[in-house]
Amino acid sequence: MEPIRFEPPLYEQRYEFVKSYIDTHKPKKVADLGCSECSLLHKLKFWSCIEELVGVDIDEDILKRKGYTLTPLPVYYLDPLQRPLTVTLYHGSVCEKDPALLGFDLITCIELIEHLVAEDLEKFQDVLFGFMTPNAVVISTPNVEFNVLLSENPGFRHPDHKFEWNRKEFQGWAMNISRQYNYTVEFTGVGELGADSKDVGYCSQIGIFTKNYTETEETIRNKMKYRSTYKRVLHVIYPSIQDEKYLRKAVLTTALCHAERMKSNFLHNLFPEEDEETLVTADDREQPRVSSKWLSSLQTKTQLEESNGRPPFLEGDAVHVPLESLFAIPKVKELCGSLDVFQSMMTGEVTLSADGGAVVYPLHVDNDVGSDISDD
Ligand code: SAM
């Protein structure tokens, strides 16, 4: 029998299913139970609606080995997220209650339930639907009817599976739970083989549960009093512009990057035949020579270059880049909201003109002059 190859692979199709659910429903708090190597969490951290991501698994080693995939890359510190995002991993059993898993919009259980013995499955359903009570739950599990297309040998797909259900068994279990815990359930799946698999259903069957009620504040408060049973093995807070510190950094990095470019273009136009390095000599602190020809050509060129506000200008022996031109940069505008806020963020971080209206780059020091982003 030819082995079946799904394209994309089946596990990817399950993740894609969750991602499209998230696209539609935009949950903010999402937990993945039995997160294993954190592959789904890794993908979900890029979803812009998600602000809190949690993974739980009983295998502490795997969480410790793979947790690093959820930590922010250095680039996030240069370009922080628009939204807040925290990612937490817990070592614990889905059969135990822990207040850390309260208040979620979506909880996913991808290929988890078939790893639980009957007694644990009972505990798990009570923990998930009776205690955690998320607004929605996505559960996927193998559909045993599909196994005839996977192998000639009867038997489970994985040695650790405690059961594999047919569609009737899974749907019966899910509908009982829905009635018992006041959820609505719909069924679908991933992994189809066109006409061949029509009468055996999907390879992975999926139940989507939606909560039919809103919990009272008092119920939530009482559940919050439960003793923690999970052990936190990873907790990361992503740099976000919601945090004043990272917002300032993002504004400074963006604005100064543009300011440097505007200054360089300005100098290039000002001294077309010399490069900036030779002009700006730290050794002899020589003042640049500005001819009237250069100055008049400059006016035309900077006007052409400048469409978003006032062009840079020379005052004394310094290039001035007006803040209003930097504020015209869409990202700066979006981050600051107003010119006043932008000005207050730049104050103390870079050298500003006496009236506070421009970033100042003196000509008589090195080319990296005038403006430093502080490390704070
Ligand atoms: N959800 C993962 C994915 O889609 O990539 C794969 C899940 S893997 C097949 C099953 C996971 O469930 C394993 O990592 C296992 O350690 C975890 N698991 C089994 N029993 C558990 C329990 N009682 N509590 C928490 N995790 C459990």
Q: Count how many residues are written for the chain.
A: 376
Give pLDDT, residue 299.
43
Q: Which residues, at least 6 apart from 53, have a Cβ–Cβ distance to it below 8 Å?
A: 30, 31, 32, 41, 44, 45, 70, 85, 86, 87, 88
Give pLDDT, residue 188.
98
Q: How far apart are CA 260 and CA 368, in angstroms?
A: 9
Nearest CA residue ID for atom 15, ligand 1? 34
Indicate the top mutation candidate among 33, 54, 57, 140 to test ligand 1's pocket, ranked by most ligand atoms within 8 A of CB.
57
Give pLDDT, residue 196.
60
| CB-count burial class (<10 Å; 0-12, 13-18, 19+) for 196 | exposed
Q: How far apart are CA 176 and CA 347, in angstroms?
A: 63
Cβ proximity of 256 and 345 under 8 Å = no
Compute, in angstroms, the gap from residue 134 CA to the centroid of ligand 1: 19
Give pLDDT, residue 371.
47
Nearest Cα residue to 97 out of 64, 125, 137, 139: 125
Question: How do 358-362 and 29-33 pair as beta strands?
Answer: unpaired
- 10-238: CATH homologous superfamily? Vaccinia Virus protein VP39 (3.40.50.150)
CB < 8 Å & 24+ apart, contacts of 327-330: 329/254, 329/255, 329/258
Amino acid at site 180 = Q
Indicate the top mutation candidate among 61, 95, 115, 124 to test ligand 1's pocket, ranked by most ligand atoms within 8 A of CB.
115
Can you tell me whether residue 358 is helix, strand or coil?
strand
Compute, in angstroms, the gap from residue 121 CA to the centroid of ligand 1: 13
Compute, in angstroms, the gap from residue 55 CA to the centroid of ligand 1: 10
Can you tell me whether residue 247 is helix, strand or coil?
helix
Nearest CA residue ID for atom 17, ligand 1? 34
Per-block average pLDDT, block size 10, for the chain (376 residues)? 85 98 98 98 96 98 97 88 96 98 98 98 98 98 93 87 97 98 98 77 97 96 96 97 92 93 89 57 36 43 51 92 95 93 94 95 64 45
Question: How do 313-315 and 231-237 pair as beta strands?
Answer: unpaired
Compute, in angstroms, the gap from residue 120 CA to the centroid of ligand 1: 13
Nearest Cα residue to 176 out of 211, 220, 125: 125
DSSP characters over 200-223 = T--SEEEEEEEE-S---HHHHHHH
Query: Greatest CA separation found in the chain?
Result: 90
- What's the start-to-end Cα distance of the chain, in Å? 63
Nearest Cα residue to 197 out of 359, 10, 338: 10
Nearest CA residue ID for atom 9, ligand 1? 111
**Phi, psi dihedrals of residue 363, rounded to the nearest 5°:** -85, -20
Give pLDDT, residue 106.
98
CB environment 1-20: b (16+ within 10 A), e (fewer): eeeeeeeeebbebbbebbee
Kindly report, as residue ranges, where domains of CATH 3.40.50.150 are found in the chain.
10-238
The dihedral built from the CA positions of residue 79, 108, 13 and 233, taken in this order, carries a sign that is positive
Give pLDDT, residue 175.
98
Q: Which atom of ligand 1 is found nearest the CA of 11?
A: 4
CB half-sphere exposure, 282, CA atoms < 13 A? 6
**Phi, psi dihedrals of residue 184, rounded to the nearest 5°:** -110, 140
